[in-house]
Amino acid sequence: MLGNFVYYNPTVLYFGRGALSALALELPNYGPKVQLIYGGGSIKKNGIYDQVTALLRETGKEIVEDPGVMPNPTTDKLYEGCRIARAHNVDLLLAVGGGSCCDYAKGVAVSAWCEEDPWEKYYVRREPPDNRVIPVGCVLTMVGTGSEMNSGSVITNPVTKRKVGPEFGEAAYPKFSILDPVFTYSLPKYQMTAGIFDIMSHILEQYLTDLDDCTSDYIMEGLMRSLIHSSRAAIRDPYDYQARSNLMWTATWALNTLVEKGKTTDWMVHKLGQSVSAFTDATHGMTLSAVSLPYYRRMLPHGLPRFKRFAEVVWEVRPEGKTDEAVALAGLAAMEAWMKELGVALHLRELGVTEEMIEGIADGATILKGGYKVLTRQEVSEILRESM
């Protein structure tokens, strides 16, 4: 059933080969000072940096450099970005990279002109932005987070070991995002497969949550079927444009608020994964893959009809002669086999988690109430141990 909601998504998406040329259409809509946000410099190796800066110069922009965004952007980096934005009074934040760069750009967008500590106001207390918000544009070079078409921003505080991701709402949606699947060709396989599982996890957090009959669930089943098909093709051939374009588009629609409409959502796997990477700085998608199977095996008895539907529709498990539970378990087994094909992490050990860290990680994982069963603190530890 679809309950009450408002749907509004103002981001303009330019999709396809050569889509970067759309920058020349968008840049004139903003003032002269552009804060250029990127990560460790891979965009300088693959030539994307040169293409972007050339377009910025051609449109008469002043480039304010803001490099060094790390995979899990920290509060210190956020503060640094805010200082840069204020010092130059920039007119546009242009993120060139993956979800971390987009999340960070949105964080700077709402935080730069915040009068108090933005971490406390916008990430801990999760207040709606009430100060000037700097416009954001994204040029995507990695696929997975969906950050290019939502208002979410995940930031990590290394001191308190808290990694949180508030949604800022309308003002913080990217004004435009440029999605060229070719830009994702050069991504290492580890990053690609982590992104692919991140997409799957985003969908599961919204799909394995209730037993209603809701159009959003059918859309998610379509997205998952496409994701599974295209992920296999992309592993066979990283230069398969069809597969890469489908992965890029699926990632966007998995987390741009459409599929959550009318749904309850879970996000417990993300809370566990976020707490893991606050302790290990592990790649986001891999923290999700490592905890997912133990978590969903625990949820299965509490949401059996949906797990059965998941097995039949998404994994094409035949129900004949099987109990409902056997069908549901066969679905999770099929997902595990697919995860092995991808080569994503199936154990927290692979990510540098030690036995000593587990209780700390458990303490750092907020227990949410949207899943089929609300976990106890004890069960959180058990799931983490089962994930080792």
Which residues of the shown chain bind its own copies in the complex (CB under 8 A)?
1-19, 22, 181, 212-223, 225-226, 229-230, 233, 241-243, 245-246, 248-250, 253, 258, 261-262
Which CB sits closer to its own copies, 164 or 311? 311
Shorter beta-carbon distance to its own copies: residue 219 or 333: 219
Closest separation in Å from C-beta 228 to its own copies: 10
CB atoms within 10 A of CB 106: 30
User: Given the complex with its own copies, which of 6 and 159 has the nearer CB atom?
Assistant: 6
Q: How far is the CB of 170 from its own copies (least distance, A)?
A: 10
CB of 2 to its own copies, least distance (A): 4
Q: Give the chain's end-to-end CA distance (angstroms, integer).
A: 38
CB nearer to its own copies: pick between 14 and 104: 14
CB of 253 to its own copies, least distance (A): 7
- Of 123 and 197, nearer to its own copies (C-beta) is 197
Residue 332 is classified by DSSP as H
Dig out the tokens for 307 from the structure. 């797990």
Minimum distance of its own copies from residue 157's CB (angstroms): 34
- Provide the CB-side half-sphere exposure for 285 (13 A, CA): 26
Q: How far is the CB of 218 from its own copies (least distance, A)?
A: 4
Our CB check for its own copies shows the closer of 16 and 238 to be 16
Q: How far is the CB of 133 from its own copies (least distance, A)?
A: 19
The closest of 328, 272, 266 to 297, measured between CA atoms, is 328
| Of residues 75 and 257, the one with the C-beta less far from its own copies | 257
Any residues with CB less than 8 A from the CB of 266 and at least 6 apart, and which?
A: 204, 205, 206, 208, 209, 368, 370, 371
C-alpha span between 288 and 273 (Å, rounded): 5
CA-based diameter of the chain, in Å?
68
Bridge partner residues of 94 (DSSP): 36, 137
What DSSP letter does each residue of 231-256 carry, written as one string? HHHHHH-TT-HHHHHHHHHHHHHHSS
Ramachandran quadrant class, 47 (left: phi over 0; alpha: psi -120 to 50; beta: rest): left
Closest listed residue to residue 166, CA positions, set 181, 151, 185, 184? 151
Minimum distance, C-beta of residue 251 to its own copies, in the bound complex (Å): 10
Which residue, 142 or 358, has its beta carbon nearer to its own copies? 142
Is 14 or 372 the residue whose CB approaches its own copies more closely? Answer: 14
Spatial CB neighbours of 152, under 8 Å, sequence gap ≥ 6: 103, 106, 165, 166, 167, 168, 255
Are 140 and 183 a contacting pair, CB within 8 Å? Answer: yes
Pull the structure tokens for residue 19: 């889509």
Provide the minimum distance between the beta carbon of 123 and its own copies in the complex, in angstroms, as a whole number.
Answer: 27
